[in-house]
Amino acid sequence: MSWDDFALAFFSLDILRQACPILLSGLVQTLLLSAMVVPLGLFGGVLLALLATVRSPFVRWPLMAWVDVFRSLPPLVLLIFVYAGLPFAGLEVSAWGAVAIGFFLNTGAYYGEILRAGIESVPAGQVEAARSTGLSRGQAMAWVVLPQAVRNMLPDLISNTLEVVKLTSIASVVALPELLFQARQAQSVTFNATPIVAAAVAYFVLLWPVVRLLSRLENRQLAGRR
């Protein structure tokens, strides 16, 4: 295969021009999807992390089981289960609805773990000092614990958010017309790999700055761990 053939198959400007509108619409859907599932997952995570501050074993153990079950199920399995399974129970869900439920369960469990670890990373003396000056449990949480926790867990939060944005690509499996789905459509119509390559480039351009930032933060964190 000559270089020209190769370029034609993967980097054809002609094909790119044709596929551009549909790819752009996919990109918009991917961004909308991310704007929905990241807050949704964070919301689920905050709920779980707040529940984790309850010390009763009747809360703690079921909570841990919940988190571990949804961290064990691959997100795609969860999504298919909701999308293809629930209609059999008489519950029709749209692709968007299925993605929302699946991500709430999966992403929420991951965010929940990160938030919990962040809260626990703040020394007990901090809460004691706050309570000794008369701050309530909630005030101590809001003013003393959370600001420190967020700083400690920032790399993990960013890293998880990156993974969530990448994960939106599985919505293509339930025919939600996001970037990967549209690229596949374009590819199957044109019999040319350029649309998929273009989609990959779009993801890379979008997420590369985040990866750079993260790798800097993580290096610092691991080095500080010794």
Partner 1 sequence: MTGWERFADSFLNARVAAEYLPKIVEGFGLTVVLALCIIAAGLAAGLALAVVRSLGVRPLNWLIIFAVDLFRALPPLVVIALFYFGLPAAGLSLSGFAAAWLALSLVLMAFSEEIFWAGITAVPKGQWEAARSTGLGFLPTLRLVVLPQALRITIPPLTNRTIAITKNTALASVVAVPEILGAAQAGVSFGFNPTPLTLGAAAYLVLFLPVVVLGRWIETRFAWKR
Partner 2 sequence: MAAIVRAHGIHKHFGALHVLRGVDLEVAERELVFVIGPSGSGKSTLLRCLNRLEEPSGGRIEVDGIDMLDRRTDINRARQRIGMVFQSFNLYPHMTALGNVALALRQVLKLPRGEAEGRARAALERVGLADRAGHYPGQLSGGQQQRVAIARAVALEPRVMLFDEPTSALDPELVGGVLQAMRELRESGMTMVVVSHEMGFARAAADRVVFMDHGLVVEQGAPEAVFGAPREERTRAFIRQIDRH
Q: Which residues bind partner 1 (CB under 8 A)?
A: 1, 5-6, 9-10, 68-69, 71-78, 80-81, 84-85, 88-90, 162-163, 166-170, 172-173, 180, 183-184, 187-188, 191-193, 196-197, 199-200, 203-204, 206-208, 210-212, 214-215, 218-219, 222-223, 225-226
Closest CB to partner 1 among 161 and 192? 192
Nearest approach, Cβ of residue 156 and partner 2 (Å) = 18
Which chain residues interact with partner 2 by CB under 8 A?
123, 125-126, 128-136, 139, 143-144, 147-148, 151
Which listed option, partner 1, partner 2, none, makes contact with residue 225 (CB within 5 to 8 Å by class)? partner 1
Measured between alpha carbons, how far is 192 from 157 in angstroms, rounded to an integer?
37
Q: Tell me if 123 sits within 8 A of 60, measured CB to CB.
A: no
Which listed option, partner 1, partner 2, none, makes contact with residue 172 (CB within 5 to 8 Å by class)? partner 1
Angle at 100 between CA 97 and CA 106, to 5 degrees: 140
Which listed option, partner 1, partner 2, none, makes contact with residue 68 (CB within 5 to 8 Å by class)? partner 1
Measured between alpha carbons, how far is 214 from 201 in angstroms, rounded to an integer?
19
Measured CA to CA in angstroms, residue 168 lies from 152, 206, 220 at distances of 26, 14, 29
Query: What is the 8-class DSSP label of residue 86?
Result: G
* Tokens 């020394």 sit on residue: 123
Residue 219: both structure tokens together: 């290096």
Nearest approach, Cβ of residue 76 and partner 1 (Å) = 5
Nearest approach, Cβ of residue 160 and partner 2 (Å) = 22
Measured between alpha carbons, how far is 4 from 168 in angstroms, rounded to an integer?
34
